[in-house]
Amino acid sequence: MTSRVNDFAFKIATANGTGSASANGLIMQAIFRMGVPVTGKNVFPSNIQGLPTWYEIRVNKHGYTARTPHFDLMLALNAATYAKDVAEVRSGGYLMFDSSWPLDEKLKRPDVTYLGVPLAEMCNATFKGVRERILMKNIAYAGVLAALIGMDTEVIAALTKEKYAAKKALLDSNEKAIALGYDYARANFPCPLPIHLEKMDATTDSILIDGNTAAALGAVYAGATVGAWYPITPATSVMEAFKGFCMKYRRDPDTKKKKFAILQAEDELAALGMVIGASWAGARAFTPTSGPGISLMNEFIGLAYYAEIPAVIVDVQRTGPSTGMPTRTQQGDLMLCAHASHGDTRHICLYPADPREAFEMAAKAFDLAERFQTPVFLVSDLDIGMNDWMVPKLAWDDSYRPDRGKVLSADDLEKARSFYRYLDVDGDGIPQRSLPGVHPKGAYFTRGSGHNKYGAYTEDGDEYQEVLDRIARKVQGATKAVPPPVMKPTPGATMGLVTVGGCHAACVEAMDLLAAEGIKVNYMRVRGFPFGDEVRQFLEQHEVNFIVEQNRDAQLRSLLMLETGVHVEKLESVRYYAGFPMSAHHVISGVKAKLEKAA
């Protein structure tokens, strides 16, 4: 293999529950601290222990962060998946295995270099307890890898010291295990391999973070005080992180009492009901969930839409339908979130592409929910939510004040001649609201049944229709408030490439690779729903637009057609929905296939 510095990918195959996460985290962080752009993706089963799990690390000096299915080096440490893992190595690549056990010669490939390391033997000889031997085997492979790809030993030593500063025994074991692997590799293989690292300074202003942690931070910074939820993969860590941050930042310094409430509901129905109750009473409240949770929440989503109650729903999408593959990623809820519940509904959706946007949009979701008095969906996915992304450092504007929307204070109500909950007083479709307990004049009856603009029950068709039309106008008004699409023009391009959310990374890389072959596209990534007019204009200006997304039924394309009225012939669908994050390869092959068909 020719030398490839800071541009390669490797994959670590282990079994779930063996403690490989901390070794993988150490590897990621060490590369990052060497200033080299890096991304890590978990490929894990819906299971606690024993089933195969993988961790994929991509090192790329250009900063490409999409998944790549081409692995230069495989750490094949799980016998159960060995055959599959061998097959995934790029021709000319390397495979590291535990030589404590004999290798199945039938599985040897002539185009792959095999690197046997007696990890189990070494760890059994060095460590005493069974658990420690298993755990340290992981740290030892990190040591082997460090030597193979030329990781900075000082960086690793510093990281280990930081992590186990308070646990001397663990620090000793870790240092010993790293040295075991490192020394063995240096003594037995030509280290570093042609695929290796060299220090850069491309990560100084970045952090490594997953989208769920970032979204939780957004909720904290926006001032959410009530979180209600029902555990579900892959959204669970949103609330766990929110709780962690609240415990750190939201307790009274003297009494330690909590300035937040987290309610673990009995199901997703109740979770959203709690959010609606809390929002109705004036708190910023949210619930994290995934597709199956949204399915259950539908009746309450309709209530919040029609009764005009703010609610923030963080949907970390996984594959569907039904239980689907709970630990795989997809963009299968785009339609569901846009039009959840029965009757005519249309919901504000925000589509982050990475953890930084998950942070910013999570915070924004609360402003939009309160300003427009309606449910707002932060439509993330498992790839964004649970994987480790390198993103620019998060920043917060301290001059930010929450947009509470048209909430009347006791003073406002005292001065008002009258208050009617659903009157369009300002002509923007957004009515005024009052909070319970504030003032006698603010009283009204919230209901999901037919009501007129004064808030009174009605079965009069015209009155009902008037309210429904105003709500439609109100939500349409959000087109100017949701984040505008990201657009990137390419000189001379006549075709469009359109995508949403986590496909962004793959599209960015694909565009460069396509351009190198003379295929130029203008780029648009939508970031908010309902779509603004600029989205329609972009689609109109190209004869053909490739709509890149991760679901079977081209949901983004359907939404674009429905909302913009752009003719179907202008919208070519490029889809990948096998449950793994999209790669540039998927985009390129999809675009080329469409072009060849047209030619």
Among residue numbers 411 through 430, which ones bind another protein (CB under 8 A)? 417-421
Measured between alpha carbons, how far is 69 from 11 in angstroms, rounded to an integer?
10
Q: Exposure string (b/e) for 233-260, b if CB count within 10 Å is 16 or more? A: bbbbbbbbbbbebbeeebeeeeeeeeeb
- Check residue 249 for interaction with another protein (CB under 8 A): yes
Q: How far is the CB of 470 from another protein (least distance, A)?
A: 16
| Token pair listed for 61 | 């000096």
Residue of 92, 190, 437, 565 interacting with another protein (CB under 8 A): 437
Q: How far is the CB of 203 from another protein (least distance, A)?
A: 8
- Check residue 459 for interaction with another protein (CB under 8 A): no
- Check residue 21 for interaction with another protein (CB under 8 A): no
Q: Which stretch binds another protein (CB under 8 A): 280-288, 370-378, 503-511, 534-542?
A: 280-288
Q: How far is the CB of 275 from another protein (least distance, A)?
A: 6
Q: Which stretch binds another protein (CB under 8 A): 25-33, 94-102, 370-378, 561-569?
A: 25-33
For residue 226, the SS3 value is strand
- Check residue 275 for interaction with another protein (CB under 8 A): yes
- Check residue 250 for interaction with another protein (CB under 8 A): yes
Q: How far is the CB of 411 from another protein (least distance, A)?
A: 14
Burial of 424 (0-12, 13-18, 19+ CB in 10 A): middle
Q: Using the minimum distance from each CB to another protein, give the nearer residue, 109 or 393.
A: 393
CA-closest candidate to residue 103, choices 81, 73, 82, 124: 82
Measured between alpha carbons, how far is 438 from 427 in angstroms, rounded to an integer?
25
- The partner residues of 59 in beta bridges, in order of sequence, read 8, 38
Q: How far is the CB of 21 from another protein (least distance, A)?
A: 16
- The partner residues of 229 in beta bridges, in order of sequence, read 264
CA-closest candidate to residue 267, choices 304, 240, 236, 229: 229
| Helix (H) or strand (E) segment spanning residue 335 | helix 334-338
- Check residue 398 for interaction with another protein (CB under 8 A): yes
Q: Using the minimum distance from each CB to another protein, give the nearer residue, 140 or 217.
A: 217
- Check residue 406 for interaction with another protein (CB under 8 A): no
Strand ranges inside 265-408, DSSP E: 285-289, 311-317, 348-350, 375-381, 389-392
Measured between alpha carbons, how far is 67 from 64 in angstroms, rounded to an integer?
9
Measured between alpha carbons, how far is 349 from 315 in angstroms, rounded to an integer?
10
- Check residue 445 for interaction with another protein (CB under 8 A): yes
CA-closest candidate to residue 318, choices 581, 52, 575, 585: 581
Residue of 347, 439, 470, 575 interacting with another protein (CB under 8 A): 439
Pairing verdict, β 195-196 and 4-5: parallel
| Token pair listed for 529 | 């729903």
- Check residue 185 for interaction with another protein (CB under 8 A): no
What residues between 289 and 328 interact with another protein by CB under 8 A?
Answer: 299-300, 303
Q: Using the minimum distance from each CB to another protein, give the nearer residue, 176 or 251.
A: 251
* Cβ atoms 141, 117 nearer than 8 A: yes
- Check residue 218 for interaction with another protein (CB under 8 A): no
The residue count for binding another protein (CB under 8 A) is: 83
- Check residue 208 for interaction with another protein (CB under 8 A): yes
Q: How far is the CB of 531 from another protein (least distance, A)?
A: 30
Burial of 265 (0-12, 13-18, 19+ CB in 10 A): middle
Q: How far is the CB of 44 from another protein (least distance, A)?
A: 21
Measured between alpha carbons, how far is 395 from 90 in angstroms, rounded to an integer?
39
Tally of CA atoms within 13 A in the half-sphere of 498 that contains its CB: 31
Measured between alpha carbons, how far is 365 from 380 in angstroms, rounded to an integer?
12
Q: How far is the CB of 366 from another protein (least distance, A)?
A: 11
Q: Which stretch binds another protein (CB under 8 A): 2-10, 317-325, 450-458, 496-504?
A: 450-458
Residue of 131, 167, 342, 400 interacting with another protein (CB under 8 A): 400
Measured between alpha carbons, how far is 44 from 1 in angstroms, rounded to an integer?
30
- Check residue 435 for interaction with another protein (CB under 8 A): yes
* Cβ atoms 367, 402 nearer than 8 A: yes
Q: How far is the CB of 352 from another protein (least distance, A)?
A: 17
- Check residue 586 for interaction with another protein (CB under 8 A): no
Measured between alpha carbons, how far is 182 from 157 in angstroms, rounded to an integer?
12
Q: How far is the CB of 537 from another protein (least distance, A)?
A: 36
Report how far Cα 178 is from the mean position of its chain's Cα atoms: 32
Number of other residues whose CB lies within 10 A of the CB of residue 1: 14
For another protein, what does the binding mask look like between residues 496 and 535, x meaning CB under 8 A?
Answer: ----------------------------------------
- Check residue 157 for interaction with another protein (CB under 8 A): no
Residue of 25, 69, 118, 223 interacting with another protein (CB under 8 A): 223
Read off φ and ψ for residue 518, nearest 5 degrees.
Answer: 85, 10
Q: How far is the CB of 525 from another protein (least distance, A)?
A: 24
- Check residue 536 for interaction with another protein (CB under 8 A): no
What residues between 543 and 572 interact with another protein by CB under 8 A?
Answer: none
Residue of 267, 414, 469, 512 interacting with another protein (CB under 8 A): 267
Q: How far is the CB of 308 from another protein (least distance, A)?
A: 13
Beta-carbon contacts of residue 473 (< 8 Å; ≥ 6 apart): 428, 429
Q: Using the minimum distance from each CB to another protein, give the nearer residue, 394 or 595.
A: 394
For residue 526, the SS3 value is strand
Q: Which stretch binds another protein (CB under 8 A): 394-402, 481-489, 498-506, 526-534?
A: 394-402
Residue of 55, 260, 286, 577 interacting with another protein (CB under 8 A): 260
- Check residue 164 for interaction with another protein (CB under 8 A): no
Measured between alpha carbons, how far is 255 from 237 in angstroms, rounded to an integer?
27
Distances (CA, A) of 291 to 39, 118, 580: 26, 44, 17
- Check residue 346 for interaction with another protein (CB under 8 A): no
Q: How far is the CB of 27 from another protein (least distance, A)?
A: 15
Q: Using the minimum distance from each CB to another protein, give the nearer residue, 179 or 407.
A: 407
